[in-house]
Amino acid sequence: MSILVFAESSEQGYKKTALETVSYAKNIAKNQGSELTVVTFNSTDNSALGLHGANKVVNLKGSAFDKFNPLTISQAISEIAKEENSKIVVIDSTLNGKHIAAIVAANLEASFASNIVSEPISYEPFTVRRNSFSNKAFQNMELCNEIKVLAIAKNSYGATENKEDFTEQDYSISEIKNTLEIVSVEKTGGKISISDADIVVSAGRGLKGPENWGMIEELSEVLGAALACSKPVSDIGWRPHSEHVGQTGIQVSSNLYIAIGISGAIQHLAGINTSKVKVVINTDPDAPFFKAADYGIVGDAFDIVPKLITELKKFKEQ
């Protein structure tokens, strides 16, 4: 019996979120006296998995895995979980992770909790703490089925080293049991993906028009940040939809979130409130965003942002 965890790799290797999820699963495996098996997608170098506690690595290979098809990947994870007799399957809560975690839980007739924010509160009964109500409340949830699928919120558990020697094998699927075909994949233009970024610079309708995004782009470049925006900004077409964050857009859990000319409506906050440090720049001292901010600047973005860029450049030169 092993604890199973899914880790997705990018062209640049495993991202922090994947290694956090592996570390989380390793902690459970140690607690249960179990081995840790990692199922990978798109991987080339798995040394980081060994460093974070993998005892065995199963690489999804073959034409069925050329593109990210959530149904095919869920099928593979479910089959491997049965072969390994895994009672706990751990997946991250990224967009891709959320797609597959619920399907794996259904396939395995498992109890399922998403957005988990800490290690299990207890093992008997098995209880986890998760974000709920658009991250406005915590919920302690008891998982009663024999098999449990856990989806871990980004940035809620550090990546911790736990070096192990590991074995590797490939896994392919002979009979795909679904009719979903991924025809093509379009990548967003941004240099840094919003959901993976440590720093996000986001701007709203206070910027007045798309012609004013130059300073926002410059600020994000100086900070090495991803660019984001509020919903109306992408609805009007000032910025691409791929930058829209919030309840109906991308969820952000960055270490630093800078909101410029955004009022802080509840639907916007719902998508960003798990970010660690929030900085708000707004002309209106009564803007609701200030209530959620760690640092607030009451002032005109057209005044503040260029000054911020100058000071950051000076700081970097030192």
141 or 270, CB closer to ligand FAD?
Answer: 270
How large is the angle between the packed helices 95-107 and 70-84, nearest 10 degrees? Answer: 50
Q: How far is the CB of 173 from ligand FAD (least distance, A)?
A: 36
Q: Contact region for ligand FAD (CB under 6 A) — 93-101, 135-143, 168-176, 245-253?
A: 245-253
Residue 160 interacting with ligand FAD (CB under 6 A): no
Tell me how far apart the alpha carbons of residues 4 and 59 are, in angstroms, rounded to a whole number. Answer: 13
Residue with tokens 């390793």: 26
Q: Is residue 50 within 8 Å of residue 58, measured between CB atoms?
A: no
Residue 230 interacting with ligand FAD (CB under 6 A): yes
Q: How far is the CB of 99 from ligand FAD (least distance, A)?
A: 19
120 or 271, CB closer to ligand FAD?
Answer: 271
Residue 4 interacting with ligand FAD (CB under 6 A): no
Cα 28 to chain centroid, rounded: 20
Q: At CA 197, angle to CA 192 and CA 199, rounded to 5?
A: 110
- CA nearest neighbour of 269 among 245, 285, 294: 245
Chosen residue from 50, 232, 240, 312 binding ligand FAD by CB under 6 A:
232
Q: How far is the CB of 283 from ligand FAD (least distance, A)?
A: 4
Residue 301 interacting with ligand FAD (CB under 6 A): yes
Chosen residue from 265, 290, 309, 312 binding ligand FAD by CB under 6 A:
265
Helices (H), the chain: 16-32, 47-51, 70-84, 95-107, 214-223, 231-236, 266-272, 289-292, 301-317
Tell me how far apart the alpha carbons of residues 191 and 107 are, in angstroms, rounded to a whole number. Answer: 36
Q: How far is the CB of 250 from ligand FAD (least distance, A)?
A: 9
Residue 308 interacting with ligand FAD (CB under 6 A): no
Residue 282 interacting with ligand FAD (CB under 6 A): yes
Q: How far is the CB of 260 from ligand FAD (least distance, A)?
A: 6
Tell me how far apart the alpha carbons of residues 159 and 151 are, in angstroms, rounded to a whole number. Answer: 16
55 or 230, CB closer to ligand FAD?
Answer: 230
Chosen residue from 130, 231, 239, 278 binding ligand FAD by CB under 6 A:
231
Q: How far is the CB of 211 from ligand FAD (least distance, A)?
A: 14
Q: Is residue 271 within 8 Å of residue 278, measured between CB atoms?
A: no
Binders of ligand FAD among 174-213, rule CB under 6 A? Answer: 204-206
Tell me how far apart the alpha carbons of residues 176 and 285 are, in angstroms, rounded to a whole number. Answer: 57
Enter the tokens of residue 196.
């993976």
Q: How far is the CB of 46 from ligand FAD (least distance, A)?
A: 36
Residue 271 interacting with ligand FAD (CB under 6 A): yes
Torsion sign across C-alpha atoms 283, 286, 289, 295: positive
Residue 233 interacting with ligand FAD (CB under 6 A): yes
97 or 246, CB closer to ligand FAD?
Answer: 246
Q: Is residue 79 within 8 Å of residue 101, measured between CB atoms?
A: no
Q: Is residue 277 within 8 Å of residue 257, measured between CB atoms?
A: yes
Q: How far is the CB of 303 from ligand FAD (least distance, A)?
A: 8
Q: Which residues bind ligand FAD (CB under 6 A)?
A: 204-206, 230-233, 246-249, 261-263, 265, 267-268, 271, 281-284, 287, 300-302
